[in-house]
Amino acid sequence: MPKEQIEEYIEAIFDIAGEKGTAKTTEVANRLKIAPASVTEVFQKMARNGLVQYEPYKGVSLTTKGVEAAIKIKRKHRLLEVFLAKILHIAPEKVHAEACKMEHSISDEVGDAICRQLNAPARCPSGKLIYPCEKGIETCNQCKETLEKDASSASQRKILPVTDLKRCQKGTIAFLRGSSKVIQRLSDLGLTPGTEVTLMRKTPMGGPIELSVRRTALAVGHDIADNIFVEAAGES
């Protein structure tokens, strides 16, 4: 089965069910405009490849391997949307469809190069968060410095946006995204790799979040928080 087709299924399941939910066969069939019987066949093949857990008459959920694949696809898609909109000036209504066509054909290396060219954008034109890369680095400043290193040095840690922490949950800053200016701004606030933070409060509608850093309360705007990724307490 073509890689592009498998990735379309992974992306559809991720969009419907997220990282931990279940997508029904009919939901995926409707989204991809494919007969349910054909979808079931593909689910069974994906299960054999370790991408999903499939239960007849219930649907599928992504495995850890499947979630990792979905996040890679989403990262490329959203980076491509920024590239098409900001660099190529493609009309906004065409950006999503064009990115869908391209996301399956570019390598991780090309995706990372686009990220560097764009100075590591935090969100795509529609406002969705762009996932960080998997390199074993702490800031985007290190990305160019480590280009020649073997990809096997990529970090295996599970990191997530600081905004995804639960109330009163702790996390250790693992990665800072953005240009030198952004990273310096974060450093000035005491938000550096290795620092433990606790999410105290989130305000609705994209408002600031309140972090506890070294026993000090710190209100951080959503535009800043978008660039902070943590390893949550209890995660490995």
Contact 184, 199 (CB under 8 A): no
Position 1 confidence tier, pLDDT thresholds 50, 70, 90: confident
Domain spans of the chain?
3-62, 67-131, 160-232
Residue with tokens 């009309």: 91
| CATH architecture observed for domain 67-131 | Orthogonal Bundle (1.10)
Instruction: Please tell me the CATH code under which domain 160-232 is placed.
Output: 2.30.30.90
d(CA 28, CA 36): 8
Residue with tokens 């995926």: 28
Span 163-214, pLDDT tens digits: 889 999 999 999 999 888 888 889 988 999 999 999 999 887 778 899 999 8
Report which of residues 154 and 228 the model is more confident about: 228
Report which of residues 141 and 67 the model is more confident about: 67
Q: What is the structure's pLDDT at 134?
A: 78
Tell which residue, 143, 171, 168, has the closest CA to residue 159. Answer: 171
Residue with tokens 């280009």: 147
Q: What is the structure's pLDDT at 151?
A: 41
Instruction: Please tell me the CATH code under which domain 3-62 is placed.
Output: 1.10.10.10
